[in-house]
Amino acid sequence: MIHSYITIAGRSCEELIINKSRFIGYAAPCETENQAISFLHEIRETHKNATHHCYAYIIGENANVMRYSDNGEPAGTAGLPIIDVMRNKSIVNCCIVVVRYFGGVHLGTGGLVRAYTQSSQAAVESAGISRMEMTMDASCELPYSAWDRFRYSCEQLPVRIEDVSYGSVISFHLLVRLSERDKIINSLLDVSGRKLNMISETESFLPWII
């Protein structure tokens, strides 16, 4: 089972002017191939008059779906450089589209490879990189008497506390990486004097800072 993968944190758009041609790099996180294709269509609609819409996407935690297109550029000068940017950073579940408006100056094979690589890198850097970790999200309750010590201990551990509310008891969500769940929960149960009440748990991929 895959417990983590690297992807981009959000959408981005970056423009470069290279020898009078406009290169506009777009990036978006996509969890399915249909999402990647929809993103590509969106960019094509936005730039209907562009000379080229070159793209690449990698889908799946195991990178089991990889597609790219030169869209009329010389073979190997656009789609492959775009996908290489993702592969070099181990990025998956991501689609990058680089739009080109031809400026009248031919860049040559090497120039095109550099231009599409730079545009893709700019889009990725602008989007930011995030590690998605399989995470336990537990809905919890804790009496006030145990809260201060519990919260202090959480600040020293790789956990997150979210959605805190104060009623007859303190309610909150506790987020823990699944790979560290048992060790951390046992520690927090001890810290709370076994007063931590975990009402329900769900598991999903959530972003953590690399």
Range of the domain at 158: 131-208
CA-based Rg of the chain, rounded to a whole angstrom? 23
State how many domains the chain has.
2
How far is 75 from 175, CA to CA, in rounded Å? 46
- 40-50 pLDDT, tens digit per residue, is 999 999 999 99
- 26-35 pLDDT, tens digit per residue, is 999 999 999 9
pTM of the model: 0.83
- 144-166 pLDDT, tens digit per residue, is 999 999 999 999 999 999 999 99
pLDDT of residue 210: 60
Identify the bridge partners of residue 159 per DSSP, sorted by sequence position: 176
H runs (alpha helix) in the chain: 33-46, 79-88, 108-127, 144-155, 181-191
Pair 29, 101 in one domain = yes
Pair 57, 121 in one domain = yes
Single-letter amino acid, residue 172: F
Pair 58, 147 in one domain = no
The CATH number that applies at residue 146 is: 3.30.70.240
The CATH number that applies at residue 86 is: 3.30.230.30
